[in-house]
Structure 1
Amino acid sequence: MTPQPLAAVRSIKVKLGLLVVASVLVATAVATLGRAGGVPPWLGVPVTVLLALAVTQLLATGMTSPLREMTAAARRMATGDHGVRVPEASRDEVGELARAFNTMAADLAAVDRQRRELVANVSHELRTPLTGMRALLENLADGVGPADPAALRAALGQAERTSRLVEDLLDLARVDAGRAPLAPQPVRLGALLADAVAEAEVLGRPVTYAVRVSPPDLVVAADPARLHQLVANLLDNASRHSPAGSTVRVEAAQEEAAYVVEVHDAGPGVAAADRERVFEPFGTLAAGGVAGGGTGLGLAIARWVTDLHGGTIGFVEPEGGRGARVRVVLPLSPPERVADEPAGSSGLETVAAPPPRPAETPPEGPPAEGPPAQGAGGTGLLDDLFGGFWPARGVPARVGLLLGAVLTGVLAAALLPERALGLGTFVVLLAAGGVLVAATPHRRDPWTLTCAGLCLLLAATTLVRDAEWVVVLCLLAGVATALCGVTRPRTAAGIVLTGLAWPLAGLRGLPWLGRTVGALTGRGQGAAVLRTVVWSVLGLVVFGALLASADALLAEWVDAAVPDLTSDLLVARVFLTVAVGGVVLAAAYLALDAPRVDRAAGAPRPVGRRFEWLAPVLVVVGVFAVFLAAQATVVLAGHDHLRRTTGLTYAEYVHQGFGQLTVATALTLLVVWAAARKAPRATAADRAWLRGALGLLCLETLVVVGSALHRMHLYQEAYGFTALRLLVDVVEGWLGLLVVASLVAGVTLRAAWFARFALVSGVVALLGLAIVDPEAWVAEHNLERYADTGRVDWTYLQGLSDDAVPALVDGTADLTPRERACALLGRPGTGADDDLGEWNLARSRAADALDGVPVGGVPVGGAAGSCPGQD
């Protein structure tokens, strides 16, 4: 049962007020504590919102769960299950409604039981006198006693009809009371249908029968008597409503783990509005389909026999639109049933009750697959909010994932505060990745394995690089790659939606988190578990502190193992635990219950007319053509012409536009994507225009990419090398690679691989940048430029990270002491104070490179402006 913390409150209005007050108080207390502890806003605000939302969810779940349980119970009652009840723990208006609901359910159950007993008793009492009457009339009809034969035969017909009604009532009473016998055994379906047709032909109705079974030797597990009864009732119904001289077709075939039996007749058919009602007892229609002449129980018994075997039955659209067509879908092996002996048995056979019949007529063909129900709670606000993008699937509780996320948060709180990025960060990332791998059900999928390998390489940059901008970019790329590895998107929109789904997982996974916490604490054992944890922690702290203060060696061990727990750091560690644990748990739920990101992105919707997509693309092609013409003019006319016409030097000219060209390249890819989705491809001409227009645009874009890279090279030669300019070069080169990939996709008109290629190639480009060691590369090239031109930006070199130190040390061998001091200002002692948690290869190499290097003094108090050649 769902916990209800506010169950003792008698008013739902008061509960809502307490809910608001509790959320506000929690948010205020957490925010105040974080501000007092010096927690930065980027960490404090998400944690405050998360904890307030958790309190709201805890209290609101107890308030709304009775309503969800009543909704689920009402649906079960609609299928005939009147034994369902809902908890009555709440004392407010919702609790009163639950008690009234249970009273109504009990009354309905009593009425239903009385109806069943009435039908069974009446049928049982009428059976004996009717049997004697039938025997007497048979004697009179055969001339044993004096009587008018015509009148007596008419009486015999009525008695036989009454007898059939009684037999049908008894069968219906058995199945309705859950006592219909079911003895499955191997049955040759073709032979059974042939026997049923032979019995139907004895009735003498002016129709013929055609039977077809595929495969002819099909053997199923079923109760032969009940299955024969089902087919006989369907044949009786079909022959009664078929015109004279028509054919009743009986077809049976195997479909995967089920078999289908269909009976077609040539009668007037059944209207769509009446196809469900004819299966009800006494549901015979007077016109428009199932005409009179039967007892009105044959199809009702057919449905119950189908339910006993775990199948479905219903009228579907007939072929050609004429006649009636009944479709029965049964499993090759019926479900196992447990015998049940209800109280007050009246001597009928005893088996388990059949499953509730479906509320709607099954559609033609095998039943469609869908997400499983979420449980007794039914659908709620979150299901309405996320809809088809993220449907409820009833994900089971995973206590291990919750504990793994919490332990990852604790590990982060112990290793990350007041430490630089290094070994501790890598360990935390490995722990988070382990939780994610344990959560995903597709851990052996090639795409998921590829993403996992890339994530490991990206996380390793924390061990080998000191430049924070490189490491942060790699970590962001690693997060995106990990999320795409578990959701497995195939489109660009799907990748974007995956990034948006991660924060939403914190909201979508709240019901799953509630189930997991419930499984962790056990039913009714939450308070006991909490008491145990509190007393255990108290014992550890009290006795640990006493014994550590009594032994110096033990105190040293405790100081090495336990992180600094001063007041400010303690608050920061608590916030970090909640933040890291929360984001890891959200990612784990995203892996466990991935949304339908590609389906939510939607399918392409081509426009109706070609010019609607072609005209905008040709405009962009024309703009690029004009730009390329300007570029050709500069190349052919020379730098003097450029200065005369624009007043700019060539260095100033190339600096003017490389940023805009990078943006233009990215926008071109967006244009290609949009045009490919909107362009129709029905005819050869459509495909030719698509290939031609987008191919021309991509070729022009490649020239623009080359121009941007050339401009950046010239600008760096003129004004120096920086990490940002190198990053722009890498981004522009990656965009050029995507343009080439667009050309390939345009030739084949197959682009399902493009989104994943873009992601992997971008990650590989970023890894390549990290391997190149960008800041060391920049330092080397700037010192080479200084050797050639005598100009360098010493201030920029001094601001580079420890990645650049080995290059600076090697590059200053031929410099004067003053120049060496300008390059290495502030470097002595680098990495000397690092502990194991922030160990990093780059800082370690920097410390080794600076060991014993004579730096000397820097003039004018160390001001870089006094250094020679300062740009």
Structure 2
Amino acid sequence: MGTSARTGRPLDGVSSIKVKIGLLVVVSIVAAVVVLQVGGRAGVPGWLTLPVTLAVALGVTQWPARGMTSPLREMTCAAGKMATGDYSVRVTATSADEVGRLARAFNTMAADLATADQQRRQLVATVSHELRTPLAAQRALLENLVDGVVRPDDAALQTALAQSERLSALVGDLLDVSRVDGGAVPLHLASVSVADLLDRAVAEAAVGTRTVVFETSVEPSDLVVRADGARLAQVVANLLDNAVRHSPPGGIVRLRAEVEENDRWSLEVTDHGPGIPAGQVRKVFARFGVGDDSSGGTGLGLAIAGWVCQLHGGSITALPPADGGTGARIRVMLPRNPVPRPGSSVEPASTPATEVIPVTTTPPDVTPAGPPAVPLPSFVGTLFGEYWPERGPATAPVALYGSVAIGALAAAALPYRHIGLGTFLVLLAAGVLVFGVSIHRRRPWTTVVALLYAGLASMAVLRAAEWLVVLSLLAALVLVATALTDARRVLPMLAGGAGWVLAAIRGLPLLGRTLAGTSRHRLLWPVLRTAVLSLVALVVFGGLFASGDAVFGSWVAQILPDVHLADSFVLRAFVWFFVGGIVLAACYLALNPPRVDAVAMPPTRAVSRAWEWMVPVGVVVAVFLVFLVAQASAMWGGHEFVRRTAGMSYADYVHQGFAQLTVATVLTLATIALAVRKAPRDTDRDRLLLRAVLGTLCVLTLVVVASALFRMAVYQQAYGFTVLRVLVDAFELWLGFLVVLVMVAGVRLSGWWLPRAALASGAALLLAIGLADPEAWVARQNIERYEATGKLDLASLSSLGADATPTIERDLPADLARCVITGQYRPAGDDDLLGWNLGRSRAADIPGYGDDAVRGGCPAQVGE
């Protein structure tokens, strides 16, 4: 075990935990410094270098850190099992440090406890239980003989003799306790008639004090199996004793034996007693599992029956009652011809019909020593606990290979190009992969999100405005996170977004298993390893010789004439790692989403009196009413009223309060949400009152939204249109739509659909804005304002992007259009196929676009 274990645990040979931690810190720092230096020297942006550096440092330390904490987690798991009486679990103890020494001491302690517990319990329990059943039956028979209930005929005496022989066999078994403890128990195989076996067992069980009816069925009736007849009789006797004790007077105990597939046979014993409690099914075959004084048992019969079944290479299970009835149902499954286990030998048979098979086994309450019976949770799994359990597949090669391929596509298509067709292809490929592996891919919400995602991603190729592409990408990421986690409420949606980031850590166990799975390919990893080592050797030695010899350096320069090739390679490597990592984290989120529904606001208790929530909300309603009166006064009074009252122009007046009205709308939605949580809704009167008050507040909020939109329209007519003002208008309009949705939800006081509807409507509005070409629309509105008033801000118009250029060239007078178009910003370089963008392509076809050299004598404003 030493070699294999140390291969998986590189630091096992270090004898101090402090030194191990120091080595991990050093390795992490060195990896981070190297990546930062390489990225900085190659000119990689800091926002791209930092996450890649953190990921590389974390990934590099994962390999030497393997196995450092697993013995402690194994000991925690083993200690929990020992608390329940299971002393069989052992921990891996290959490390030479303090943790390894503690693990070895733990194993020694567990072995000593297991031996002491086994020696203390097994002899007394076996003697008390195994002697009780035949003695009770023999006593009942003798009492019946004394009382004259049974005549001392041959049948009665034969039954008494069988019980005495069974007692003698049990005494002989007790002499073999030491051999049982050592794990080597001989199994004497012979031909056994199942029908005769069951008849004898029923005859012995029928002499008890409780009257029950036995029904026996054997299919086929002449079924003969090879087994240890004495131990098999022990199993049947224990099962019948257990069934009789738990059956009501006059109850039926059924025994059914039949042939199964794969050369096996089964024995099923059922009764009509209270049955096995659901929580005790797993413990029923353990020593002292469910025995109690009231039932007359000690909880050992089924445990010993299971031990005998294990000797024969079979199994014993507790099944639910058939046809929904009551009672216990125990099934024994055994091979018709048991064979020796690997490594055992067959002793010479004492008779031709009998053979002895030494079977290595353990008592029913002790399992073999070795690794834990249950998979040990990883450190990452323990870190996230029940909020993010491992429920996904064992490996995910499709997600891994797909993420690597998409990262390579991004590395080839994105660097040194503007946002365009290449960006759209990367987004589209990532969406296909992530939605394809999602466990929620067939849900309607996922379909809606996929359509919105495709539309928002198309902005990268349709529009040249980078701000629009960034907003679309952010909205698409939020949508994707909700679809992958199936989040339905606000907090789960936020948790889903955070889960995308945390998936980079939570997915490490799955990534490790997938990489381990790919390592089984005989050709893949050797090829990759050889290619990487060859490339590193070429770069290192080629760089040294090129810098140390002028002739060699000239040859290298001829082969690699681009002096920026190294910087380009580094940048593309960072992009590859960054994009591939984001996609891989999204794939893990799709394969194993966290339990975001468990994230919720702490429960609150509704107020007991209606006025406790009505008074605060009523104050808000009153403030809204006073504000609307002020708005009406300003509108009816006009410019002179505003100047006389507020001392400012009407345009300045409407501009002053727009931001505050937007904030007030958001706070109103928060007020409504809080009132819904605190208001009582037990009676029809409470619900009607809630609908009336909040409905009034929503109507007043819609009036405020209309006022805010009117204010912005007035201000834009006075000072012109900008993209930011249009976006603020759109945001206020979306808030008004949310208020309408709240009113609809208030009809039934049920808004489970509201968060998703709000998110989808916001994304759809952003998509509609993008398709409407906002910069071209702003340019058209300013041109129309110029045609109506003669006023035009040429500097503001020149700040618009390439999307507005065709509109400016078409609708503005030629001299002014030339001033605006030549003053526009034009990205350096021409677009190739992967950098193609519709907006930039249309602007590039217009003469003078972005050519500031030909601009001259152009004013900043006209008519202002």
Give TM-score scaled by structure 1 length. Answer: 0.74
Q: What residue identity is the alignment partner of 2:17?
A: I
Deviation at 1:793, TM superposition (A): 1.0
**Aligned CA distance change for structure 1 residues 168 and 5 (closer, same or farther; 3 Å):** closer
| Cα offset, 1:19, TM superposition | 0.6
Tell me which amino acid in the other structure corresponds to 2:701. T
Cα separation, 1, equivalents of 2:753 and 2:412: 42
Kindly provide the amino acid, as one letter, of the partner of residue 588 in structure 2: Y
The alpha carbon displacement at 1:606 in A equals 3.9
Q: In the TM superposition, what are the counterparts of 1:234-383 in structure 2 within 5 Å?
A: 234-238=242-246, 264=273, 281=287, 289-291=294-296, 297-298=300-301, 300-301=303-304, 311-312=317-318, 341=341, 343=344, 378-383=376-381
**Aligned partners of 1:825 and 1:284: how far apart in 2?**
90
Find the residue that maps to 1:27 and give its secondary structure: helix
Assess if the C-alpha contact under 8 Å between 2:503 and 2:588 holds in 1: yes
Task: Indicate conservation of the 8 Å contact 1:374/1:393, yes or no.
Answer: no
Report whether the alignment pairs 1:823 with 2:817: no
Q: Deviations over 1:39-59 (max 9, x none)?
A: 222222222222122223332
Superimposed CA distance per residue, residues 97-135 of structure 1 (whole angstroms, 9 cap, x where no aligned partner) = 555566677788999999999999999x999x99xx99x
Amino acid across the alignment from 2:757: F
Summarize deviations over 1:511-543 as a string: whole Å, max 9, x none: 22222222233399998465323356579999x
Equivalent residue letter for 1:298: G
What is the CA-CA distance between 1:605 and the residue it aligns to? 3.9
1:816 CA drift (Å): 5.3
The 1:280/1:382 distance shift into structure 2, 3 A limit, reads closer
- The reply on whether 1:848 has 2:851 as its aligned counterpart is no
Whole-angstrom distance in 1 between the partners of 2:185 and 2:613: 65
Q: State the partner residue of 2:240.
A: 232
In structure 1, distance between residues paired with 2:336 and 2:666: 61
Q: Is the 2:395–2:514 Cα contact (8 Å) retained in structure 1? A: yes
Contact 1:604 1:678 in 2 (8 A): no
Structure 1 residues 425 and 853: CA distance shift in structure 2, 3 A: closer
How far the C-alpha of 1:459 sits from its partner, in A, is 0.6
Indicate the residue corresponding to 1:449 in structure 2.
Answer: 447
SS in 2 for 1:392: coil
**Conserved 8 A contact 2:180-2:362:** no
**In structure 1, what is the equivalent of residue 582 of structure 2?**
583
Aligned to 2:419: 421
For residues 518-597 of structure 1, what are the structure 2 equivalents within 5 Å?
Answer: 518-522=516-520, 528=526, 531-534=529-532, 537=535, 566-597=565-596
CA contact (8 A) 1:69 1:376 kept: no
In structure 2, C-alpha distance between the alignment counterparts of 1:670 and 1:395, rounded to whole Å? 41
Shift of 1:282: 7.3
Alpha-carbon spacing, 1:138–1:799, altered in 2? closer, same or farther (3 Å): closer
Q: Distance in 2 between matches of 1:379 and 1:26?
A: 28
Relative distance call for 1:290 and 1:762 in structure 2 (3 A) is same
| SS of residue paired to 1:837 | coil
* Deviation by residue 1:137-158 (Cα, 9 ceiling, x = unmatched): 9999999xxx9xxxx9999899
Counting matched residue pairs gives 778
| Distance of aligned partners of 1:297 and 1:471 in 2 relative to their CA distance in 1, 3 Å threshold | closer
CA positional deviation for 1:834: 1.5
CA contact (8 A) 2:723 2:778 kept: yes
Compare 483-492 and 201-210 and name the one that shifted more. Answer: 201-210
Where does residue 690 of structure 2 map in the other structure?
Answer: 690
TM-score after normalising by structure 2: 0.74
Contact 1:37 1:571 in 2 (8 A): yes
Hey, what's the Cα distance between the residues in 2 that align with 1:664 and 1:529?
63
Kindly provide the amino acid, as one letter, of the partner of residue 517 in structure 1.
L
Name which of structure 1's ranges 462-471 and 821-830 shifts more when overlaid on structure 2.
821-830
- 1:227–1:600: structure 2 CA closer, same or farther, 3 Å change rule? farther
Distance 1:247 1:171 in 2: 39
Which 10-residue stretch deviates more, 97-106 or 170-179?
170-179
Q: Choose from 1, 24, 27 the match for 1:22.
A: 27
Which range moved further: 415-424 or 113-122? 113-122
Match of residue 719 from structure 1: 719
Deviations 1:356-402 (Å, cap 9, x if unpaired)?
A: 8899xxxxxxxxxxxxx999662354334323321233641223322
Q: Which runs of 5+ in 1 are unaligned?
A: 188-194, 212-222, 253-258, 315-324, 360-372, 546-554
What amino acid maps onto 2:422 in structure 1?
A: G
The answer (yes or no) to whether the contact 2:346–2:357 under 8 Å persists in 1 is: no
> 1:468 Cα deviation (Å)?
0.9
> Equivalents in 2 of 1:524, 1:108: separation in Å?
46
Q: Is 2:43 aligned against 1:42?
A: no
Cα offset for 1:348?
7.2
2:184–2:358: 8 Å Cα contact kept in structure 1?
Answer: no
Report if the CA contact (8 A) 2:413-2:422 is conserved: yes
d(CA) in 1 for partners of 2:405, 2:15: 39
Structure 2 counterpart of 1:391, from 389, 392, 400: 389
The 1:107/1:394 distance shift into structure 2, 3 A limit, reads farther
The aligned counterpart of 1:497 is: 495
1:322-356: CA deviation from partner (whole Å, max 9, x where unpaired):
xxx9866989x999999763736786789998998
Are 1:648 and 2:636 an aligned pair? Answer: no
Query: Relative to 1, partners in 2 of residues 1:14 and 1:720: Cα closer, same or farther, differing over 3 Å?
Result: same
2:801 maps to a residue whose letter is S
Shift of 1:762: 0.9
- Whole-angstrom CA distance in 1 between matches of 2:590 and 2:188: 46
- The reply on whether 1:90 has 2:90 as its aligned counterpart is no
List per-residue Cα deviations over 1:266-300 (Å, max 9, x = no partner): 9xx99x9x999997557898x86344xx6864354
Superposition deviation, residue 821 in structure 1: 2.6
AA aligned to 1:431 is A
Letter in 2 for 1:868: V
Aligned-partner Cα distance in 2 for 1:205–1:718: 105
Give the secondary structure class of the aligned counterpart of 1:836: coil
DSSP-derived class of the 1:341 partner: coil
1:777: how far off? 0.3
* Segment of structure 1 superposing worse, 569-578 or 75-84: 75-84
Q: How many Å separate the matches in 2 of 1:201 and 1:54?
A: 66
Q: Does 1:659 align with 2:653?
A: no
Q: In structure 2, how many angstroms separate the alpha carbons of the residues matched to 1:392 and 1:8?
A: 31
Which segment drifts farther, 94-103 or 648-657?
Answer: 94-103
CA deviations 1:142-177 (Å, max 9, x no partner) are 99xxx9xxxx99998995994796799899999998
Instruction: Give the residue type in structure 2 aligned to 1:25.
Output: V
Q: Which shifted more, 442-451 or 717-726?
A: 442-451
Q: Deviations over 1:586-637 (max 9, x none)?
A: 1111111100112222586442424454443333222222222222332344
**How many angstroms does 1:663 deviate by?**
1.9
| Change over 3 Å in CA distance of 1:803–1:848 after alignment to 2 | same
On the 8 A contact 1:72/1:376 being kept in 2, the answer is no
State the percentage of identical aligned residues: 46
CA distance in 1, matches of 2:408, 2:670: 42
* Structure 2 CA distance for partners of 1:730 and 1:311, relative to 1, 3 Å: farther
Letter in 1 for 2:678: K
For the residues of structure 1 that align with 2:187 and 2:452, how far apart are their CA atoms? 61
- For 2:341 and 2:606, the matched residues in 1 are separated by 66
Give the letter for the 1:41 counterpart: G
* Partner AA of 2:565 in structure 1: T
* CA deviations over 1:543-584 (Å, ceiling 9, x no partner): x99xxxxxxxxx9xx99xx99953433332222222222222
Q: Which amino acid aligns with 2:410?
A: A
The answer on whether the counterparts of 1:306 and 1:312 sit within 8 Å (CA) in structure 2 is no
Task: Name the counterpart of 2:552.
Answer: none
The CA deviation string for residues 462-509 of structure 1, in whole angstroms up to 9 with x for no partner, is 001011111110011111111222111111211111111111111212
> SS at the partner of 1:569?
helix
Deviation at 1:690, TM superposition (A): 2.3
Shift of the 7–649 alpha-carbon distance from structure 1 to 2, 3 Å rule, reads: same
What is the distance in 1 between the residues matched to 2:672 and 2:821?
48
1:7 to 5, 12, 21: 12
Deviation sequence 1:230-254 (CA, Å, 0-9, x none): 7633343336xx8xxx8979999xx
Mapping 1:746-757, distance limit 5 Å: 746-757=746-757
8 Å CA contact 1:6–1:15 kept in 2: the answer is yes
User: Residues 204-256 of structure 1: CA distance to partner in whole angstroms, max 9, x if unpaired?
Assistant: 64678999xxxxxxxxxxx99999767633343336xx8xxx8979999xxxx
